Amino acid sequence: MEIDDIQTSNLDALALEVTKCEKCPRLREYCALIGTKKRKAFLNWEYWKKPLPGFGDPKAKLLVVGLAPAANGGTRTGRFFCGDSSGDWLIRALYKTGFANQPTSTSIEDGLVLTGAYLTAIVRCAPPENKPAKDEITNCMPYLEEELRILRDVKIVLVLGQVAFRGFIDTLRGEFGLHSSSEARFRHGAIYDLGKGFPKLYVSYHPSRRNTQTKMLTWPMWIRTFQKIRHELMQATHNEET
């Protein structure tokens, strides 16, 4: 079996494990509630309601790590950053920098294909008020750890928001022996070299509606991060070929 096929098979197996997860009763109950008390605009939808697996290219060089599925976004559609305002910003940026084949993500049947990028999150179920408990984050960590093992081509990780930033750093410390992150602080636009054997870390505010509407995160700030990532990956590819 080819390496690509093995990675795909391993991601498929992990996805099945994730969707069956029942580790966090509070989150599972909340997702069931969301699927019952639907927003008026989505009354005809059959909500996903299950924990969400990652999505994207098994050969990804960019890994995007968010906080959790949106209540009426991923929890409804079954895919991270799909069907909500955060997804609108993310997929448009990925499209404009060559990681996505289309600028929108509205359902798991919309034809979206990511090339060189993979989407995941610290928590796989929507938490009430977007605030997962510490033990819920801990329960989800093994899934991110396994994705990092499978996605062996990842060169850059982009974390969205402070919780994702802290969760990702803790994952590397706990399971992968990271020791060089003492100077890493959450700050939009920060870039950290975590040392040999680890991907470079890019940091951004989360493209939540609150952050974008208050202009804490503007489109120029946002797209600049993806342009820097694309430039760095292109430069790395050029260096490998010469």
- DSSP annotation string for 159-193: EESHHHHHHHHHHHHHHH-----TT----TT-EE-
The C-alpha torsion from 77 through 143 and 133 to 41, rounded to 10°, is: 0
Q: What per-residue confidence (pLDDT) applies to 184? A: 87
Q: In this structure, are residues 115 and 101 in contact, taking their beta carbons and an 8 Å threshold? A: yes
pLDDT at 175: 74
Q: Can you tell me whether residue 150 is helix, strand or coil?
A: helix
219: confidence class by pLDDT, cuts 50, 70, 90: very high
Work out the average pLDDT over 9-35: 97
Rounded mean pLDDT of 25-40? 96
**34 confidence band (pLDDT: 50, 70, 90):** very high
Q: Is the pLDDT of residue 177 over 90?
A: no
The model's pLDDT over 93-102, given as tens digits with 9 standing for 90+, comes to 999 999 999 9
Residues listed for the chain: 242
Per-residue pLDDT, 180:
64
For residue 231, is pLDDT > 80? yes
Summarised one tens digit per residue, pLDDT across range 136-150 is 999 999 999 999 999
> Residue 128 burial by CB count (10 A; 0-12/13-18/19+): exposed, middle or buried?
middle
Per the prediction, the chain carries an average pLDDT of 94
Give the CATH fold of the 3-241 domain. Uracil-DNA Glycosylase, subunit E (3.40.470)
Position 1 confidence tier, pLDDT thresholds 50, 70, 90: low
